Chains A and B, each alone.
Chain A
C-alpha cells in the first residue's frame, strides 16, 4: 500500500515536470501523454489525427499505473534488502539509482521493443530532461522522500539512537 502511494505521488510529480519540460523544450506539452498512450496503441498515438483528449486520458492512466507499480517495486526492493531504514542520504541515492534504472528499462529496453517508432521523436535535450533528469531528480527522489518520511515497517530507527538507548 505504501509502495502504491509513493508511486502515485512520484508519478504525479514526474508527470508535471515532463509536461512543463515538453512545453518549454518542444512546445508540445501533450508529448508525454502521447508517449505514454503510445505504449498501448502504438505510433498512432503520436499522429496529429489522434484525439488529444484520448491521449491525455489514456496517457494519464498508463503513466500513473506504471508509476504506481514501480513504486511498489521500489519499496519491495528496499524491504527485501533490509533498506527501509537506510540513512536519508543513502535513501535519496537509492531513489536516484532507481530512477536511472526505470529510465533505462522504459526507454532503452521496453520502448524500442514495444513501439520502436516512438524513440525517434525525441531530440537529445528532451531525452536528457524528460528522460534521465526527471527520472533521477524527480521520480526516484520523491519515492525516497516518501520512505524517509513514513518509514513503513521500520521498528528501529538505528541511525538516530544513541548508545545509551541501545545498549543497557
Chain B
C-alpha cells in the first residue's frame, strides 16, 4: 500500500524558490512602472469616451484651466521616482520598463507552472475537494478570534484558496486586461476588450488588480510572520521545512542580501533612466521591438463601431501649430495646401485636398487610443493609403513612410518638427487612412487639419496630424535623432506602438 503524500515534507524545490524570487523582482518593477504609466493619464473610467468628469477615480490634484482650452497633455501628473519607475513624467521609459518586466514575469510564471505541473507541488495550491470552502470559513473565523488556525498540509484551507486565487485567477486577469489595452489586439479582435466591458474598463480592472497584488503581498508577508518567519524563510530560501538555527541564520542572511539587491536594482534603474534616458531606450527597445513586431504589429484592424458609439466632443491632444505657413493655409480653408509625395517612388505626387478626395474616400468608425491611456470613438473619412501607394508606385527598396507635418512643436522649441514613421506593410492595411474628415465634417484643427494619419492598430502618437508631405525611405536612422518619430526621438517612446 502506498504511503499518503505529506506535502509539508516535500519542501520547495529549487525551481519554486527561484521563481518566487524572480516573481518579487518583476512584480515590483511592474508595480512601479505601472504607476509611471498611470501618471500619463491619472484617471480611470468605465466608459471608452473618457469624457472629463466621467472618471470614477483620479490620481491627480491638477486643476484644468477654466479660461482657456486645455489638452490631454496638461492632465499628466508627474509622480515622484520614489514610487514610479522612473518618475518625473517619463511615460516612454516607464512603458519600456513595464513591458520588459511583463516579459520577465510571464517567463517566470511559465517556468513556475512547469515546475508545478511536473511535480506534486501543484497539490499545495489546487483544492481537490469542495470541503476546502468550509475549512476556509473555519480558518477565517479562527483568525477573527485572533488565533492562528492549525497548519494544513502545508497550508490551511484559507491560505490555499488565496494562493490559488492569486495564481490562477488574479494573474491571468492581469495579463488579459493588459492585453485588452493593446490597440493592435483591439483592432483585430474588437470583441476582446468588450469581455471586460471595454478598453477603459480593462484599464480600470488592471489597476484594481495591481491594488489586489499589493494587498495580497502585505497580507502574505503578515501571515508568514504570524505563522513563523524563520521557518517560512527556511522553506522558501533553502527549501527545508525543518531548519536548524544555523540554517535559519543563513536564510535570513540570504533574504537580506536579496532585498538589498532588489533595492539597489530599483535605485539603479530609476537613476539610470533619469540620468541617461537614451542609454536605457537603446538597451530596452531592441529587446521589446522584435517581440511586438512579431506578435502584435502584423494584426490588422477590423473595427466596425456603430454611429451611436461615436464620442461627442472627444478629448484633443497637443496644440495646433503656430507655423506661419500653417496659419496662412488654415486661414484660407486649406485651399492652397498641397500634399507632397516623394522619396523612393516612381511617380512623385503633389495633390490638393480636393484631388485627395477625388481618389476615393473611405469611412470607418474606430477607437482612438492615446498612449496616455484615454480613448474615444470617432468616424474618420479619408483616402486609403494603399490607394495613394498604387498611384505613386513605391520602388522595391522602399520600406518605411515618413510623414512630415506643420507641427512645429512650439511648446518645446529647438526639438524640430513633428514627424512619424510607418512600415510600408502597415500602410497597405485596409483601415490605414489619410483622414481629412471626422464625424461627418472636415477634420477640425484640434484633431489635425487638414490631414492626419489613421493607423488603427497603433497608439495615437504614431498617427501624425497636420500632415504636409510623405516621403518613402529605406531607413529612418538619418532622420531626426534616428528613432523613427518625434516622440521616440524626444520622449523615448517606442517606434512601433501596437501595445
Q: Which residues of A does B touch, CB under 8 Å?
A: 81-87, 90, 104, 107-109, 111-112, 119, 122-124, 127-128, 131-132, 155-156, 158-159, 161-163, 165-168
| CA A132 to CA B61, docked complex, whole Å | 32
A34 → chain B, closest Cβ, in Å? 16
B491 → chain A, closest Cβ, in Å? 23
Question: Are B57 and A107 in contact, CB atoms less than 8 angstroms apart?
Answer: no
Within 8 A of A (CB), among B132-152: 141, 143-147
Instruction: Among B60, B144, B313, point to the contact of A128 (Cβ < 8 A).
Output: B144
How many B residues touch the partner, as a band?
Answer: 20 to 34
B294 at the interface (CB under 8 A from A): no
B52 at the interface (CB under 8 A from A): yes
Instruction: Among B55, B64, B147, point to the contact of A167 (Cβ < 8 A).
Output: B64
List 17 A-B residue pairs with CB atoms under 8 Å apart, sorted by A's residue number.
A82-B42, A82-B58, A82-B59, A87-B57, A108-B143, A119-B146, A127-B145, A128-B144, A155-B61, A159-B53, A161-B53, A163-B313, A165-B66, A166-B52, A167-B69, A167-B70, A168-B67
Which residues of chain B have C-beta atoms less than 8 A from A132's C-beta?
A: 144
Instruction: Among B53, B56, B143, B147, point to the contact of A166 (Cβ < 8 A).
Output: B53
| CA A161 to CA B147, docked complex, whole Å | 49
Contacts known (A82-B59, A132-B144, A162-B53); A168 close to B68, Cβ less than 8 A: yes
| CA A126 to CA B290, docked complex, whole Å | 60
| CA A112 to CA B145, docked complex, whole Å | 12
B314 → chain A, closest Cβ, in Å? 12
Question: Are A122 and B53 in contact, CB atoms less than 8 angstroms apart?
Answer: no
| CA A165 to CA B61, docked complex, whole Å | 17
| CA A112 to CA B52, docked complex, whole Å | 48
Which residues of chain A have C-beta atoms less than 8 A from B60's C-beta?
A: 82
| CA A82 to CA B145, docked complex, whole Å | 36
Instruction: Among B59, B66, B222, B313, point to the contact of A81 (Cβ < 8 A).
Output: B59
Considering the complex of A and B, which 7 residue pairs feature the smallest CB-CB distances, nearest first? A156-B63, A119-B146, A155-B63, A82-B59, A82-B61, A82-B60, A166-B52
B51 at the interface (CB under 8 A from A): yes
Which residues of chain A have C-beta atoms less than 8 A from B69's C-beta?
A: 167-168
Instruction: Among A85, A128, A131, A168, point to the contact of B66 (Cβ < 8 A).
Output: A168
Contacts known (A82-B42, A166-B66, A168-B66); A131 close to B53, Cβ less than 8 A: no
Instruction: Among B53, B68, B146, point to the contact of A108 (Cβ < 8 A).
Output: B146
| CA A155 to CA B226, docked complex, whole Å | 43
Which residues of chain A have C-beta atoms less than 8 A from B146's C-beta?
A: 107-108, 111-112, 119, 122, 127
Of the listed residues A85, A132, A156, A161, the one surrounded by the most CB atoms of chain B closer than 10 A to its CB is A156
Which residues of chain A have C-beta atoms less than 8 A from B53's C-beta?
A: 158-159, 161-163, 166
B426 at the interface (CB under 8 A from A): no
| 12 extra interface residue pairs, beta carbon distance < 8 Å, beyond A122-B145, A158-B52 | A82-B59, A82-B61, A84-B61, A86-B57, A87-B56, A90-B57, A119-B147, A124-B141, A124-B145, A127-B145, A132-B144, A163-B53
- Nearest residue in B to A103 (C-beta to C-beta)? B144
| CA A122 to CA B146, docked complex, whole Å | 9
B77 at the interface (CB under 8 A from A): yes
- Nearest residue in B to A156 (C-beta to C-beta)? B63
- Nearest residue in B to A121 (C-beta to C-beta)? B146
B234 → chain A, closest Cβ, in Å? 22
